Homo-oligomer: A and B are copies of this chain.
């Protein structure tokens, strides 16, 4: 029942610890879906987390731990919303730099959560340049990375701790990977709880820098932002902090073709009643892309978020029926 009455948090003194504020992940036993995929399947859904994705775990931890009262971040997606909301709870100010082409619903969501939106024309100036500019103008502010920060990994480790304590013994946990904040957090949380459960990363084949990094033994970057449907994984590379965990900690990376990501969204809809965003469905897509690897196992797929534009979702549902 965490999360009820959270509106009152901001009025208290010291920040409440993450474990009291975060909503526990929603564990869903999915026998029909599992049968179809040949595994015993549990979904760990972060779609009902505050602001609709796991990003709240990291955002709150960062905002609560740093001493700065102002936070600047660049995000057109879930991290911006999560940081705006977390800062609101903590009585801190939050500026989110977004491309001027961002969907209005995403801009509105950040504002509704209490964040200040700084739209930037990315043809003139990249978001990172605009963030650096703002950082110079506001030296008292903390510039938050969506993934490459030990506080991000620590925040996401709370999900690993929950999986360790949930009473189920998984042969594999699969989580989407973009910058690596989620997968490194889950590994950290599981290991801190004494669990050696293998953790696999599910990555869009179109954005397979993590898979290539693991093969090369060093961080390999995408040349440009990959245009995968899994927009939460459109990162250029892993971060230094996340790579330090992932290089030894990951059991493997499964590269998921775009059509398997879409099929995973549809299967979650049809056989588990779960609305997932494409990035959130990546872990299930990994079961479709590499079924032999997980055959007959007890698998936990982390569904990282559910925020998807209705028009995009409708198109994904349509593909199966036209």
For A310, give its contact among B6, B7, B321 (CB under 8 Å): B321
For A318, give its contact among B3, B4, B314 (CB under 8 Å): B314
Q: Which of A47, A166, A310, A318 has the most CB of B within 10 A?
A: A310
Q: For chain A residues 307-322, which have a beta carbon within 8 Å of chain B? A: 307, 310-311, 313-314, 317-318, 320-321
Query: How many residues of chain A are within 8 Å of chain B by beta carbon?
Result: 38
Q: How often does this chain occur in the complex, in copies?
A: 2
Q: Is A31 an interface residue when CB atoms closer than 8 A count as contact?
A: yes
Q: Is A222 an interface residue when CB atoms closer than 8 A count as contact?
A: no
Q: How far is the CB of A148 from chain B (nearest CB, A)?
A: 27
A28 and B306 alpha carbons, distance in the complex (Å): 14
Chain A interface mostly: mixed
User: CB-CB < 8 A to A306: which residues of B?
Assistant: 273
Check A48–B273 contact: CB distance below 8 A.
yes
User: CB-CB < 8 A to A27: which residues of B?
Assistant: 1
User: CB-CB < 8 A to A317: which residues of B?
Assistant: 310, 313-314
Interface residues of A (CB under 8 A from B): 1, 3-4, 6-7, 23, 26-29, 31-32, 42, 47-48, 52, 105, 112, 166-168, 266, 269-270, 272-275, 306-307, 310-311, 313-314, 317-318, 320-321
